[in-house]
Structure 1
Amino acid sequence: MAGWSPAVALSFCAVTAASLSPPPRAPRSLTVLAPVLGLIALGLSALIMLGLGASKVGPMGVLVGAGAALLPVGPVVAAFLWVDRWEPEPAKLLWLSFAWGACGATACSLLINSTAEALGDLALGHGHGDTIAATISAPIVEEAAKAAFLIGLLWWRRQEFDGLVDGIVYAGFTAAGFAFTENIYYFGRVFAEYGFAGATGGVIAAFVLRGVLAPFTHPLFTAMTGIGVGIAARSTSGKVRVFAPLLGYVCAVLLHSLWNSSATLGGATAFLTVYFLVILPILASMIALVVWQRRREQRVVAAQLPGMAEAGWIANSEVSLLSSLTGRRGWRSAVRRRAGAQAARAVASYQTAATELAFLRDAVQSGRAGADAEQRQRHLLSAMLSARQEAVRAPGALTGES
């Protein structure tokens, strides 16, 4: 892969000079105080959940539950990272979404669901509150708590959403965090009552049910809201921006309620019927939607790259390499062999910035970019140059044939 021409280098120098003037900065109270308060809230939520868990199932139950809950989290997170390969979302936002699901959303849900359970027992008699909480309160409250992060991200960081895939990825990470904490409690409670393989199979049976058969249920529910948020982010209609997330949330609640009702009220037959005739087909449809959307993203990027090369933003020889995941992976592998892991990471950052710039150009052309499009374009161009300069410092990283 040939290096850049002098014209391309001069174009980037001009871009860098244009971006030297810093963009308008948010008030210091927002940039410093808000994140600190958010981390404090998440930390307190984590401590509350840990204390409640220990009081209900004991320290050993928490440890056993955490160990069992960790096993299904890995494959679920890996699946969403695989989905997010075209234009990887910022790692700090992905882990923040996971932390919100694991700490903030679970703490809010526990408080409201416990209240609903107590009110149900008072109104309908002892034992009925748990049914009310599982079939009505939990779907409404839990999906709202998980959706809060998605709506907040759409409000403050709308530029992070380039389509449905981004909404699904953030929803999946938030729900994976929620399911992780919830599984700690379920596995710990079963261990406290039955041990590893007691009267009803204990932790082993619970793990097969929640960790093997249905590890994607919470992400599947919340993905409905994520789809709505993704649609809202791409729309120029005010009504769509309001009603798409709302409709997605309603679908998430209904699906969640159906799942809980089949497990709580219907017995094994109803549960298996819902699992095989509803959950699995919807999961298969979600996978098909993700594959289709990833192909759309590839077409968007491939359509924008020639114009970016013509403008002098990327080298002509890089158009084909940036147009497919295979080309990108081969490029990084070749750089890693020649110049090491640090240069390969710089190339990966360059590829990500080029992809974000391609999506931004597509948004500008369709009228969805917003008033800060020019500022974001300067920022992305500057990021591309910085990543490329870092890679160039390693001899042979961006010259020669890949």
Structure 2
Amino acid sequence: MTGANSSEPARHRPASQGVTVLLPVVGLLVAAVCGLLLFGLGTARVGATAVGIGVVAATVPVAVVVATFLWIDRWEPEPAPLLLLTFVWGACVATLTALLINDTAAAVGDLLLGIGRGDKVSAIVSAPFAEEAVKAVPLLLLLWHRSREFDGVVDGIVYAGFSAAGFAFTENIYYFGRAFAEHGFGDATSPGVLAAFILRGVLSPFTHPLFSVLIGIGVGVAAMSRGRTRKVLAPLGGYVLAVGLHSLWNASATLGGGSAFINVYFLVMVPVFLGVAMLVLWQRRREERIIAAALPKMASARWIAQSEVELLASLAGRRRWRRQARRESGRRAARAVAEYQARVTELAFLRRLPAGGSERRARRDELLSRLRAARAEAVRLASEGGTRDG
């Protein structure tokens, strides 16, 4: 048909595609500029050698943190480009923005309260509010523009964790670099980069992610809610909790002595960390139960094969399937199987989404189309024997 209704989507599709392509490019360019500015500021303050030492030292904890959030995200992995953009945002844009705000707050604090007191104002007041806000930007953009990427609380935790991991990575580079510039590697009388590494990289690598995960939980709850009130209050409540915990942590290190810091670490931070860890484990088990309950119905509807139910019901079964596909047909076939598994999970999670009626049916049809395309690709590669690439 050539009527007005049928031509309307055609007119808007190019613009939509242009925005979809343009936004990531602009985001990467902004992040690159911010990264260059941060590198210039770092070398100006502590020197290029110290920055290099900081990069090496900061890589270890961030690798552990990122690996942990990837492990959390195993049932329905989020798109790698989005995770990368979220990490880069935290490492470059969020860090530079927070640095400018915190430096301004410190300067104002020095003017109003006296020289030397501005840093305390910045650490206890400005830093928690500003840093948690800028780290949360990618989550709010996804919730607003691509809410379908959220299948539950776990997704909010993962995106928040990646943004905070990027932020902590850049921040650690500066702290480790400054410790090296001032005290070298350190010794018994003058703690240097080794002491800073133990404090930030061993004892508290999850500090920034822990704060932001509270916001991620709120965003995940909002994504699963139909009521507008909960959609607003859940992320806001997570932000308030993140700011409060962040401020308490900074105050214990800035105002309190060693005993205050230790008390906050063991009596507050460790219990909160364990509580979030238990929530993550519970959510993962809940996801597994949801998928296990949905698979027989999907097989009855002939969306998947009956023989695939057992393979898809556990992470171990899915891993064996991918390994078999790789062994018999190559990496491309294994990636196609992984894509198919992810589409099955999305379809299984559909019943948890707040949308109903025609919107739910449209989403189901879209997911079914993607599932069938992924399955067809996996079957094609398997039948062709794949392309072995190592």
TM-score of the pair, normalised by structure 2: 0.92
Does the alignment pair 1:378 with 2:368?
Answer: no
Structure 1 residues 22 and 316: CA distance shift in structure 2, 3 A: farther
| Residue matched to 2:129 | 140
SS, match of residue 185 in structure 2 = coil
- Which of the numbers 341, 365, 379 marks the counterpart of 2:331? 341
Q: State how 1:352-391 maps to structure 2 within 5 Å.
A: 352-363=342-353, 367-368=354-355, 372-391=359-378
SS, match of residue 393 in structure 1 = helix
SS, match of residue 27 in structure 1 = helix
Q: Is the 8 A contact 1:57 1:188 kept in 2?
A: yes
Gapped regions of structure 1 (runs ≥ 5)? 1-20
After superposition, what is the alpha-carbon deviation per residue over 1:283-330, rounded to whole angstroms, capped at 9, x for unaligned? 111110001001111111122222221222111111121111122112
| Residue matched to 1:5 | none
1:260: Cα distance to partner?
0.5
Structure 1 residues 372 and 55: CA distance shift in structure 2, 3 A: farther
Gapped regions of structure 2 (runs ≥ 5)? 1-8, 386-390
TM-score of the pair, normalised by structure 1: 0.89
Q: State how 1:10-159 maps to structure 2 within 5 Å.
A: 25=13, 27-159=16-148
RMSD: 2.0
Q: Whole-Å Cα distance in 2 between the matches of residues 74 and 346 of structure 1?
A: 27
| Residue matched to 1:174 | 163
Q: Is the 8 A contact 2:156 2:220 kept in 1?
A: yes
After superposition, what is the alpha-carbon deviation per residue over 1:196-225, rounded to whole angstroms, capped at 9, x for unaligned? 115532000000000000000000000000
Q: Is the 8 A contact 1:338 1:397 kept in 2?
A: no
Does the alignment pair 1:253 with 2:243?
Answer: yes
Q: Whole-Å Cα distance in 1 between the matches of residues 94 and 123 of structure 2?
A: 16
Q: Is the 8 A contact 2:28 2:85 kept in 1?
A: no
| Residue matched to 2:289 | 299
Q: Is the 8 A contact 1:335 1:397 kept in 2?
A: no
After superposition, what is the alpha-carbon deviation per residue over 1:36-56, rounded to whole angstroms, capped at 9, x for unaligned? 322221111111111111111
Q: Whole-Å Cα distance in 2 between the matches of residues 218 and 327 of structure 1?
A: 34
Q: Is the 8 A contact 1:343 1:397 kept in 2?
A: no
- Which of the numbers 208, 223, 226 marks the counterpart of 1:218? 208
- Which of the numbers 351, 370, 379 marks the counterpart of 1:392? 379
| Residue matched to 2:279 | 289
1:182: Cα distance to partner?
0.2
Q: Is the 8 A contact 2:325 2:382 kept in 1?
A: no
Pairs aligned (count): 375
Percent identical pairs in the alignment equals 59
Q: Whole-Å Cα distance in 2 between the matches of residues 362 and 309 of structure 1?
A: 19
Q: State how 1:162-201 maps to structure 2 within 5 Å.
A: 162-198=151-187, 199-201=189-191
Which letter maps to 1:296? R
Higher RCO structure, 1 or 2 (CA under 8 Å, sep 6+): 1
1:372: Cα distance to partner?
4.4
Q: Whole-Å Cα distance in 2 between the matches of residues 78 and 369 of structure 1?
A: 35
Which letter maps to 1:93? L
Q: Is the 8 A contact 1:175 1:222 kept in 2?
A: yes
1:24: Cα distance to partner?
7.0
Structure 1 residues 193 and 146: CA distance shift in structure 2, 3 A: same
Q: Whole-Å Cα distance in 1 between the matches of residues 198 and 384 of structure 2?
A: 47
1:28: Cα distance to partner?
4.6
Q: Is the 8 A contact 2:124 2:250 kept in 1?
A: yes
